[in-house]
Chain A
Amino acid sequence: MNDDNEFELTTEEQEMLSSLRREREPGDLLEERVVRALRRDGHFGSARPSSRTLGKLTRIAAAVALFAGGVATGRYLIVPDAPQAAAATQPASVAREASQKRELPIPASGEMIVAETELWL
């Protein structure tokens, strides 16, 4: 049977154990490696934008695209051929002028008055 005391540490062994170094300086890069690993896991200020920031940016981009699309569509649908619009909406004198520019036959003044009146109604 083993005697426990046989393997109690001697004073010399205790001194050797207590003289062991307690610290070891890590390599220069270890700290950065650890911080990078933690950032990858989403801790601290992650280098990538957060999902919340991404969502906000997406909403802004969608709003801008929607606005630009609306403007383009509006321009395409609402603004008709310029001379026709002028003839339909401008006073007779202006319409006549426009027609002259396009070298179209000048409508009779009575027809223009009728057209203008229809527009008012």
Chain B
Amino acid sequence: MSGQVAISGKAQVPELGRVGQTSSAAGSDAALIAAAVSGAEAAFRELFRRHTPHLLQFVTRVLGSSSGDAEDVVQDTWVRAYPALVTFRSESSFRTWLCSIGLRAALDSMRRGRRHIAGELFDDDASSVPPATEDRMDIESAIARLAPGYRMVLVLHDVEGFTHEEIGSQLGIAPGTSKAQLFKARRVMRALLTGREKNNERRQ
């Protein structure tokens, strides 16, 4: 029974799971995707409810910004993802696929907002030096304080579990660059977590 979805505009949607429930619940992602592709709005809404909480957290962390910006990026992500659902081949998990679209939407948002021009994100800029602070930070704040290029690589690798090859592919950089960025990102994050002063870092 689970996963049986009629392919029509008024497709019967698999029994809806709770928000955040995984795809093992009634109605697999694949069945919901098939129904959504055929135009079933209810199936799309269920996909949305199932995956948006993780997507929103991921985008918020990548942007290091307010939830308002993050919701705009999540909206952009779904608007991009829906027409592309037909191309989803289940080679990766739907969550990973959606996050990769979310990452591109976040990058575009940052570039549109002129916060960072293209190519600047992964420059070896002065932001590798942690800001002056005596206060220890919680890890969420420390990640938010990282320079965008560092933050993205650290979130993708250390939080989401992407490999350097995958990160390189997603961000258009070499895997070696990803490794170097992660190295620096961890160093800055550690400084922020321990409240180490920037002078210590600058001596390095």
Contacts and interface: CB of A to CB of B under 8 A. Distances in A.
Interface residues of B, number: 34
Nearest to A21: B57
Nearest to B79: A37
A44 B39 contact: yes
Instruction: Say what secondary structure dominates the interface of chain B.
Output: helix
Contacts of B41: 35, 44-45
A72 interface: no
Given A23-B53, A24-B57, A45 B183 contact: no
Interface string B25-54: 000000000000001010011001100111
B74 to A, nearest CB: 7
A13 B190 contact: yes
A22 B57 contact: yes
A31 B45 contact: yes
A30 B71 contact: yes
Contacts of B165: none
B135 interface: no
Contact of A17 (B44, B60, B79, B158): B158
Contacts of A30: 52, 71, 74-75
Interface of B: 9, 19-20, 39, 41, 44-45, 48-49, 52-54, 56-57, 60-61, 67, 71, 74-75, 78-79, 82-83, 139-140, 158-159, 183, 186-187, 189-190, 193
